[in-house]
Structure formats: structure tokens, C-alpha cells
Amino acid sequence: MALLLLSTPMVTMAGDVAANQKSSYWVKNDGTLWTWGRNFEYQLGHSNNSQKTEPLQVYGMNNISQLVTAVNAAFVVKTDGTLWSFGFNGNTGQLGLGPADIRVPTVVPVGDGEKVKQIVNTNYHTMVLTTTFRLYTWGKNEYGQLGVDEDLIVSSISTPRRLLADTEVSQIAVGTNHSLAVNYVGQLYAWGRNHHGQLGDGTTTDQMTPKYIMTNVVTVAAGGDSTAVIKRDGSLWVSGAEGFTKRMDKGVKQVVVADRIYAITSNNELWIAGATASAKLMDDVKQVKANGSVAFAIKTDGTLWDISIGVVPKRLLTNVTSVSTSGTHHLALRKDGSLWAWGKNDQAQLGDGHHYDETEPKLIDIDETSATEAPSGNIEFADATVKHLCVGNWDTDRDKELTKEEAALVRNLGTIFYGQSTITSFNELKYFTALTYIAEEAFAGCSAMKSVTLPNTIIYIDCGAFSGCSSLTSITIPSSVCYIDSRAFYDCHALSEVYNLVEEPFDISDDVFQHYVGGQDVFTDATLYVPAGTKKKYMEANGWKRFKNIVEIGGTPEPPVVKPGDVNGDGEVNVGDIMAVVNYMAGQVEGIDKDVADVNGDGEVNVGDIMAIINIMAS
């Protein structure tokens, strides 16, 4: 298997590092993910986009078997075969979850629940190979690098699409704008851009669909506009305008494609496979990582060497197990588990807490307690029916409570809440941060539900998801949402406020916010609140322009705030709220929203809060 795909640093197992542009990633031996550096596009996997000057653990990212970085983004494969993505989408859909950017790690559905074996990505296009030897592709398609049918050529595809369905694929690789796959009988297929002959078919004509190139291939690697393969006899072949040409006769077991072609032989010799001649660079090499002109070699004795173009090979460290380079900053791990970094540091990508460049490897101190603040503790549900359903379905430790950690593992609500007409609120839904969509009719018929808070990971709200929620007064659409299906909020008669945090409006059908009155469908009278500077866009967007009142709110819009003391969620502070607190204190109700009920702010729900509610009523 190829060691490197240019501009796609790849972690292939726990205990490895990846330096990507100005961000850094580390999968520790325990399978947890730690990240630091540039984070403007949420490429570090945390819930905010502030720069991280030191390694910080990413919540929920454990049991990792593979990590691949992309353009200001990353992909993670867990040991259970699930694929997760987060970061910048580049308007190409490279993350596999639609066109929107993804702020926190989110599961990417591949096929019918397929488990992922290998993932590759470069320049906004992505391919995965599943454990059932199926190939899926998505992202940028400017030169046909996705390989879709010719009559379906599009500039990008934002969700996984199967390719080469008539053969079992054994390995994959991508260059800047071209793609390659090898099947289990050693046949090589190539497609995408071909202006430098990178497909190896003897032409410079782009290929929109996979084209058979050659057979007897055991390894394929790609980088930039080049492709290299190792054949069964150990010979190394490299693509060009005249097709593939042989660079080395035999004995090659690994190849890395960067500005130079690096070949490692079966006796651990490292060669530079040149266009006109090949030359041995050093002996006893077990691994090479390269990006552009920068390259490093790890010898069999664990010594790390700088073998970059224009550099006399130089020993840097001993007892090294892993190395990675972005081309401008570099990371290495030693056998004792210590992390070392050097190079550019303008975005704190070295992780030493500073912004000073380092010319030599520097030991990075790790604060083992510096994990992203994780949701913890039991969820205090305000609605007894909601608690009953959540505990009954997702209480994995069977303690008759649902913790925030357990909620954060739920990926699909299904329709267990469908038709639950006694539910009054579900603001605790915000803790279900693995959700990416609200299923069809998930909350349909919840006619008493006055409030619900969606997690900021939701991308898709399906058909009729909240239809018939006739008591719902306000809804906030998270900025992550990129599609709302028909009748999603149909017959929400009481809806008076719609907070849409999406800055680039997508079209919706008119029936999303309609309700049935007097024998006909009528569009809602709710006020639409949108981010500052976006009102004109919403006034021109299909569906949204039907709102009679569109109001811009300054800065980053926030969800509507529940009134302190409005314990029963009816929108007012009254005697009903006092009774709700009394019943909770007497143990007659299972739970209330403590953030709302703790009016005096002492951290408890007690008599002091009753007095505070009375004072609010009196004022």
C-alpha cells in the first residue's frame, strides 16, 4: 500500500501524527484524537473556531483507526468502521454531508451502513473503500475525478456515490485532480485530469469515468500530477505523457510520490526513482513521509533523517516511530510517546503555546487534562414523557438516567416521539450532538410541545419532521442546516418566531411553514429573524421570501432565550411555575430544566427560587 498521498497527511493507526497546512493532529496510542493550530474553519473538531496553541483532546473522538486530513478539514475512521468528518467544505461537499461546513465531528453515512476500510482525499475530492471492497466517491468534480457517469457530469457531489460497482476494489489513491483504483486481480483503473499524462493511458485527455490502464498491479500511489505503481514482479512504473514507464526493475516494496519519487526496496534501500536514472540515497530505511520538496526518512534503527530536496541527509532524532510534514511544519513521535515539533509556527501549529518558529525538533509538553469540555452528568429532563422515551431507548448503562455522554452517541431519533401529544418541551435535544438530521415525521403530532432546541450538528430536517406541533411558538434553525424538506413545520399554528442562523439561504418549498385554516393552506405569520446583512438574500430566496416580516439581528444570532422562572414552559412567569417548583421539590415530578428554575442562581432549586419567581411576577 502507498505510504503517502501528496497534501493528504494520513494517520493509519493509533500512535501517529499528521501535519496539515497550519493545523496538527495526533492520534494517541489510546485511540483518542488531539488537535491544535489554525482553526478558523473548525478543522480541529472542537465546537468553536478559536486557535489552539497547545494539543487539545477532541470530545467523542476515540477508538480511532485512521485519520486523513483535507483542505482545512479532516476525516476519522473509528474501529467500528464508521466514518466521521468535520471542518471546511469549500462549497464542494468534500465532507460527504452536503455543502455546508461541519463544526464538530459528524458521522458520514456510506452506502447502506457500510464500514470504511480506507479513505483518501486531496484538493476537495474524497474516495473511500469499504470492508466489502466497494468504492464510494464525492466532492469536487471539475475534471471528472469523481468518475460519475458521463451523462451525470456535475461540478461537485456532496454525498457518497458508488463507483466501479462491477468489481471488488482492493486499494485506492488520489492525486490533485485524478483518481485511481486497483481491483483484486491487479487491474488498475484511472480517471480525472490527465494534462500531464498522470492517468498513464498514453494520452493527455481527461477521463470522466474509470478507464482500464494495466494489470499485475499490487500497489498504487499518487501525488500532485503523478502516479506510481508497483507490479507483481517488484518493478516500479511512473506515469507520463507517453504512458507508464519503468523506473526500477525489481525489488520495490513501497513508493512515495511527492516532488520526487521515493522507492523502498525489499532489503530496505531507499532510492530516488528519476525520470532518466535512479539512484540509491541511503540504506536501512523503513518509512518515508514527504510533501512537495520536503521529505523525512525513518531508518530501521529508529533514527529520523531530513532528506528534503537540496538538503544533505541530516539525522534529527532517535527512537522515532512516526513523522509527518505539511511542507512548512513537522511532527514526530518517539518510542517513549513524546511529541516533537519544528518549523513554522505562525498559527501555533507546533503546539508549544507560542508562535515562534523552531529550526530544530522541540519537545512539546502535553497537558493530559486539556480535553475539550465534554458534556457530563445526568440530563435533567423537563418533560417526564421525553425522559421515559430517552431512557428507554438510549440508557446504555441501565441506571434509569440518560447522561449527556449517552445522548451524544445517538445518531438517529427515528420516530419514537411520533404522535406523543403530551410532550410539552424537548430543549434537552441540544445534547444529542451526534445527530445530523431530524427524521421524517420524527415529532409529528406532538401537539402540546411548546419548545425544542436543535443541536448545532443538524444538517437536514426531513419531510413533516415537526408537522402538527400546533403549540410550538419558536424554533431556531442552526447554522449547520443546509436543507429543510416539505411540510417540515406544517400546521405549527402557534409559531410566532423563526430564528434562522444560516447565512447563505437555501430554497425551501412554500409548504414548509404553512398551516391549514378555513379549508385552505395559509403561510405562517411568524417573524423570521436572520443574521445581520442577510435580509436581502432571504427576501429573494424561494420559500423564505414568503415571510411578511424579516428582521436582521446583529452579530451572531442566538436562539430565543427562555425566561428565567418560566419552569413550565408556557411563555409566562406565573403561579403554574411556582407549582412546578413545589412539585419538583416534593419529588412529584421527575425533572425540570434547572437552568430555568434556578432563578436566584445559587445552583439549587429551592424555596429561594419560589420567592424569586414571586418577585418577578410582582414586578
- Tell me the domains of the chain and their CATH numbers: 10-364 (2.130.10.30), 384-553 (3.80.10), 575-618 (no CATH)
575-585 vs 607-618: helix crossing angle, rounded to 10 = 180
- From residue 317, alpha-carbon distances to 27, 121, 324, 330, 362 in Å are 20, 30, 14, 13, 10
pLDDT digits (tens, 9 = 90+) for 17-37: 999 989 999 999 889 999 999
CB atoms within 10 A of CB 403: 19
Q: Cα dihedral angle (169, 171, 174, 175), rounded to 10 degrees?
A: -120
Closest CA to 443 of 433, 459, 427, 457: 427
Asked whether residue 561 carries a pLDDT value surpassing 90, the answer given is: no
Please give the Cα distance from 50 to 36 (Å, whole number): 10
Residues present in the chain in total? 619
User: Which residues, 6 or more positions from 595, have their beta carbon under 8 angstroms from its beta carbon?
Assistant: none
Element of type H or E holding 611? helix 607-618
Task: Count Cα neighbours of 590 within 13 Å in the Cβ-side half-sphere.
Answer: 15
Task: Average the pLDDT over each of 187-196, 374-383, 491-500 and give the range with the smallest value.
Answer: 374-383
- The better pLDDT of the pair 543, 554 is held by 543
pLDDT digits (tens, 9 = 90+) for 496-515: 999 998 888 999 999 999 99
Q: Considering the chain, what percentage of its residues have pLDDT values greater than 70?
A: 92
Task: Average the pLDDT over each of 45-49, 309-313, 527-531, 544-548 and give the range with the smallest value.
Answer: 45-49
pLDDT band of residue 481 (cuts 50, 70, 90) is confident
Please give the Cα distance from 413 to 434 (Å, whole number): 11
pLDDT confidence of residue 350:
97
pLDDT band of residue 416 (cuts 50, 70, 90) is very high
pLDDT confidence of residue 153:
67
Instruction: Provide mean pLDDT across the span 64-86.
Output: 94
- The better pLDDT of the pair 93, 375 is held by 93
pLDDT confidence of residue 11:
53
pLDDT confidence of residue 577:
79
pLDDT band of residue 494 (cuts 50, 70, 90) is very high
Tell me the β-bridge partners of 227. Answer: 222
Q: Cα dihedral angle (262, 265, 271, 277), rounded to 10 degrees?
A: -100
Element of type H or E holding 375? none
pLDDT digits (tens, 9 = 90+) for 156-169: 899 999 999 999 99
- From residue 186, alpha-carbon distances to 172, 181, 199, 431 in Å are 12, 10, 16, 47
State the DSSP code for 562: P
Q: Characterize the bridge pairing of strands 329-334 and 339-343.
A: antiparallel
pLDDT digits (tens, 9 = 90+) for 427-469: 999 999 888 889 999 999 999 999 999 998 888 899 999 999 9
Asked whether residue 213 carries a pLDDT value surpassing 60, the answer given is: yes
